[in-house]
């Protein structure tokens, strides 16, 4: 099921993510996972016509995987040297900095942007 996201959607999705992480014994991943999810949702709000996306939160043996799928054909890539005065351009750099892995794959009708955070305590096993 897809949702249309707005300014406050990231907060709601962070609460859902936090509940999953607590239930799975992965609370140590809350801060980086919430930040990365917020950035991916913000990109949908800013760049996807209609603001429609699907968010998938998965427990994995290593920890956590989150996928945000949207219907926009526009490519996603981090801005390596963002303008210091610009309001945007740093979101994917933050995702890269706080997660263990992230990436994007194109689909015929859009793209999936994903990230993974590994459990540090081995609690995900």
C-alpha 67/C-alpha 80 separation (Å) is: 23
In degrees and rounded to multiples of 5, residue 26 shows phi and psi of -120, 35
pLDDT tens readout for residues 17-54? 999 999 999 999 999 999 999 999 999 988 888 889 99
Residue 89: other Cβ atoms inside 10 A:
14
pLDDT tens readout for residues 69-109? 999 988 887 666 666 655 555 788 899 999 999 999 999 88
Is the pLDDT score of 113 beyond 70? yes
Asked if the 3-118 domain carries CATH number 3.30.565.10, the reply is: yes
The predicted model scores a pTM of 0.86
C-alpha 106/C-alpha 70 separation (Å) is: 10
């Amino acid at each position: 099921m897809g949702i249309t996201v707005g300014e406050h959607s990231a907060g709601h999705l962070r609460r859902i993510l936090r509940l999953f992480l607590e239930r799975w014994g992965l609370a140590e991943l809350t801060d980086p996972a919430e930040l990365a999810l917020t950035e991916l949702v913000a990109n949908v709000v800013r760049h996807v016509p209609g603001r429609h996306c699907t968010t998938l939160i998965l427990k994995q043996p290593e920890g956590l995987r989150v996928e945000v799928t949207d219907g926009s054909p526009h490519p996603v890539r981090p801005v390596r040297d963002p303008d210091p005065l610009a309001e945007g351009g740093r979101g994917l750099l933050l995702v890269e900095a706080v997660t263990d892995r992230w990436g994007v794959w194109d689909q015929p009708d859009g793209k999936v942007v994903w990230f993974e955070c590994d459990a540090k305590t081995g609690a995900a096993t």
